[in-house]
Amino acid sequence: MSDLRTKTAVVTGAGSGIGRAVAVELARGGWSLALAGRRVEALEETAALAKDAADVCCVRTDVASQEDVAALFATARERFGHLDLLFNNAGTFGPGGVPLEDLDYDAWRHVVDTNLNGAFLCAQAAFRQMKEQDPQGGRIINNGSISAHVPRPHSVAYTATKHAMTGLTKSLSLDGRPYRIAASQIDIGNAATDMTERMRQGIPQANGQLAVEPVMDVADVARTVRHMAELPLEANVQFATVMATNMPYIGRG
């Protein structure tokens, strides 16, 4: 870390998977954490694992709700004061295997509300606080995806939101320059979590076949996020891709 002050972070989607792994890794570095997610019990399990953190609070949050997001950042501000990091991680795949022409509009809206609108609401709240606080500045790391670059079959909602995440990241980076707000995106491929269990069972490929795909340890993602988070604000990893080495990304399709 660049100074002796305890660093503070808001981690969304912290109740499982990548969010949990990142929270635990930041805790190892002595960060204080506001853990956000829709299931309080899961957040409390993450908090128990993040035993090395300087301080931890759990805030039940639906990132698609303006009221919930406002309450999350108000709680973090009251508890910690300064905000150094938002790991903008909450997301959903939505229904899998549904052809585009059969995708229900409500299912589309749920994915967009969570992955894109939720990411915007959290980024906006973090941006406001980072701009207003003293010392000014902070860092926002958005969880993109390999799907920010290339789609999987029957993934129109997820892919559209992850492509949009790239535009959000770039705009945050540009608009944050005057206020020492750095924005990054980590694009993750096949980290081993409950959400990617289907990779190990066989998942549709662009040629119509099913194939088992390699996965990687989610801890490798978490260490990458921590490295990005602990850089001085004068340095930024703008985009990072962390993926299972042999997954079908290069050459997909």
Rounded Cα distance, 129 and 67, in Å? 16
Topology annotation, domain 8-243: Rossmann fold (3.40.50)
Sign of the alpha-carbon dihedral angle for 75, 126, 68, 197: negative
Domain positions in the chain are 8-243
**Is 249 one of the catalytic residues?**
no
Longest dimension (CA), the chain: 55
Residue among 130, 132, 158 at smallest CA distance from 146:
158
Is 90 exceeded by the pLDDT of residue 207?
no
Average of per-residue pLDDT values in the chain: 93
pLDDT of amino acid 28 = 97
pLDDT of residue 2: 45
Is the whole model's pTM more than 0.95, yes or no? no
Q: What is the pLDDT of residues 11-36, one digit of tens each?
A: 999 999 999 999 999 999 999 999 99
E-assigned strands of 43-202? 55-60, 85-88, 138-143, 181-189
- In the DSSP assignment, the letter for residue 195 is G
Per residue in 140-175, pLDDT (tens digit) is 999 999 999 998 888 999 999 999 999 999 999 999
Per-residue confidence at 92, pLDDT binned at 50, 70, 90? very high
Contact (CB, 8 A) for 21 and 186: no
Confidence of residue 252 (pLDDT cuts 50, 70, 90): low
